[in-house]
Structure 1
């Protein structure tokens, strides 16, 4: 009984007995393309559109140039659809489950990238093969480096995040003819082969929309990037802050040393030269808004210029002729500073005469000598009626120290607040 069954199978299924070899694959290839028209879309019932599935894998982020609004990514697409004309029975072809067919011989969805940086281009070129399964499932796998147009918002540089899109359409097909059925993103970042030293990819999503006006199905890939800010903070922001803090110590230098002007000019030139070197690293974009960091660096330069100007005024007060009368507003300024400071370290020492007993040798009696002793005047110096230009200069230095400490703290607080809370 079983022998008869084997004989019948051998007689009526010669190709299955033949096994899988090049001859069978060649015959399959010829049979599939016989009477096949690549310019006609597949579909048993044209009342329904041809459904196309798409999966995207972001393999790497090559570069992102904000000034050129250009992002370069390495991506891989796996596109699937069903073509009933390319199906066969594996038992009739030696158990062959799939085969490869050149792409120029088959129908495929004409997907075009609309926001390519070099103009509209199709997703895939030519010269590759398409995998055809026995049930009519077609799998097209393609990958390339894609240069896309992406407008950058560098307002919160260097802690900014950017969102870029890759927009694709079915170029010559209406939504009721060909449309996307299932789209997805392969989210395993272990295959992220090309890491970028300045950016991290935080999110990659894919979704479809239909433009009713243009009658187009649009496939969008959204890529969110986060800038790595450690390099900018350590090499740009902190050095400028330290230079401005050091600049405050110009008011601690004695006016008699003659080094105040040289010290302030040296630090001002240091800040200016440092900002000139950093100008190439700053984002050169004015739209939609200049980076907050540019305003911050400019404010620090203005602070250094103000310190130099205030230093000149302080020296002018110090070297003013004693014969020149002191204006009333400067005396009031000195009194106000004395009231604000109001601590022991800012109270003036005065020279007073005191009598101390001193025994004269071989005289046998005590005599009193008058000595000049420096004694701390408990009365704040703002009450002193004999205000001098040196005291005006000293009070002006104290004012500059307090003013610039508050000013630097305020500018840094505003800058950090804007970066940490963009809604402000």
Structure 2
């Protein structure tokens, strides 16, 4: 009887306590860290590296300033590894299967972000605790705003797509000691709740590699974003296109109004203002290539300058002294333009002139005087056959020159716009 009683007492004394409380938690914590050294990496066999699994949960794109080559993203890292020294039996400690441990008390991988915008940044947690499970798995959750250096390629602005990289590497550990590994997830954009008004996040990829230069394990997170071009189209592209089309009307504006030069200079300055606005919103770099939109605006600026120069030439023709002789090449130019414009009143008179050629010189003279409306006696003394139905004056040279400019610059504007649209459409496909 005495032996049985003694055995029962001993058995009850080693029976695990039912239910957890602070006393049991304190006992568990003290037992786990009794001989624990946080400066020594975990691992039963040091022939193999400690595998650190990383999962990145993307929360949103805060901003992307391509002029400063800066991208700011919001995200959460879920980092896990196996700690063989922090293993216990939950039944022994009142069913406690996991517990929070101050992160300064356990070993953590020395993970750094080398391409942070303000220099190398080490991962830290705003909540300085890690969760330890009874099977030895440690879970470290940390989140923050990460400012990254990202050199933007603005070649196809505003229809460009940028790919920025968030790099993570083991700062002091070799790949034979600590190895970073990514965690496959169904969709890294599943927690994407913050919507950026200027950019759309299209894809996020994660992969790990060994950096031979730094001799460290590296985890690469590629964030692919696409610009939303509607704002730039409405506020920059369409106004410039409309200005270039309106600029052609300078050759339709009557020369007597005296507004041609002012009209062309105003439109030239308008295009220059749009170029200034664009230069303030893009990085001042020539690599890998200047934005195609810059070339497009520059081409429209050149076209506007040529229009102003041609406008001045046309006004010189129009206001030339009537007694000044007209060079032969200008007369040839006027005849060529008259032949091109078959439907003009001048060409109709020429056709009638040929029809009346068989009637007689007197009737031809009367018809020419009526149709060409010769007002001064000097012009009436000249032969109507000299310039084929009417005299070529400086005013007619100016009119033919305006018609030529309308056709020429309409062709140039259509050409430049077509080249720009083809280039942009090839990038969007």
TM-score under structure 1 normalisation? 0.85
Alignment match, 2:164:
164
Counterpart CA distance in 2 for 1:176 and 1:382 is 95
Alignment match, 1:393:
398
Alignment match, 1:404:
409
The answer to whether structure 1 residue 421 and structure 2 residue 401 are counterparts is no
* SS of residue in 1 equivalent to 2:204: strand
The answer to whether structure 1 residue 205 and structure 2 residue 205 are counterparts is yes
1:146-171 deviation per Cα after TM superposition (whole angstroms, max 9, x unaligned) = 11111111111111111111111111
Match runs of 1:23-422 below 5 Å? 23-124=23-124, 128-184=128-184, 187=187, 189-344=189-344, 347=347, 383-384=388-389, 386-422=391-427
Counterpart CA distance in 2 for 1:226 and 1:349 is 61
Between stretches 331-340 and 19-28, larger displacement belongs to 331-340
Kindly state the Cα deviation for residue 213 of structure 1 after the two structures are TM-superposed. 4.7
Counterpart CA distance in 2 for 1:249 and 1:77 is 61
Distance 1:193 1:84, change over 3 A: same
Kindly state the Cα deviation for residue 185 of structure 1 after the two structures are TM-superposed. 5.3
* SS of residue in 2 equivalent to 1:304: helix
TM-score under structure 2 normalisation? 0.85
8 Å contact from structure 2 (residues 43, 84) kept in 1: yes
8 Å contact from structure 2 (residues 182, 219) kept in 1: no
* SS of residue in 2 equivalent to 1:153: coil
8 Å contact from structure 1 (residues 83, 138) kept in 2: yes
Counterpart CA distance in 1 for 2:279 and 2:119 is 31
Kindly state the Cα deviation for residue 310 of structure 1 after the two structures are TM-superposed. 0.9
* SS of residue in 2 equivalent to 1:235: helix
Counterpart CA distance in 2 for 1:393 and 1:103 is 85
1:238-266 deviation per Cα after TM superposition (whole angstroms, max 9, x unaligned) = 11111111111111122223222232223
Distance 1:272 1:178, change over 3 A: closer
Between stretches 62-71 and 81-90, larger displacement belongs to 62-71
The answer to whether structure 1 residue 11 and structure 2 residue 16 are counterparts is no
8 Å contact from structure 1 (residues 255, 318) kept in 2: yes
Structure 2 residue runs of 5 or longer lacking an equivalent are: 1-7, 354-365, 373-385
Kindly state the Cα deviation for residue 347 of structure 1 after the two structures are TM-superposed. 3.6
Distance 1:182 1:70, change over 3 A: closer
Kindly state the Cα deviation for residue 69 of structure 1 after the two structures are TM-superposed. 1.6
Distance 1:185 1:119, change over 3 A: farther
Kindly state the Cα deviation for residue 81 of structure 1 after the two structures are TM-superposed. 0.6
8 Å contact from structure 1 (residues 169, 218) kept in 2: yes
Counterpart CA distance in 2 for 1:118 and 1:87 is 39
8 Å contact from structure 1 (residues 336, 382) kept in 2: no
Alignment match, 1:357:
none
Alignment match, 2:376:
none
Distance 1:340 1:9, change over 3 A: farther
Structure number with the higher helix fraction is: 2
* SS of residue in 2 equivalent to 1:189: coil
8 Å contact from structure 1 (residues 103, 127) kept in 2: no
8 Å contact from structure 1 (residues 61, 74) kept in 2: yes
Counterpart CA distance in 2 for 1:282 and 1:175 is 40
8 Å contact from structure 1 (residues 165, 223) kept in 2: yes
Between stretches 335-344 and 312-321, larger displacement belongs to 335-344
Alignment match, 1:366:
none
Counterpart CA distance in 2 for 1:404 and 1:9 is 106
Alignment size in residue pairs: 395
Structure number with the higher strand fraction is: 1
Distance 1:24 1:226, change over 3 A: same
* SS of residue in 2 equivalent to 1:409: helix
Kindly state the Cα deviation for residue 274 of structure 1 after the two structures are TM-superposed. 4.2
Counterpart CA distance in 2 for 1:221 and 1:283 is 24
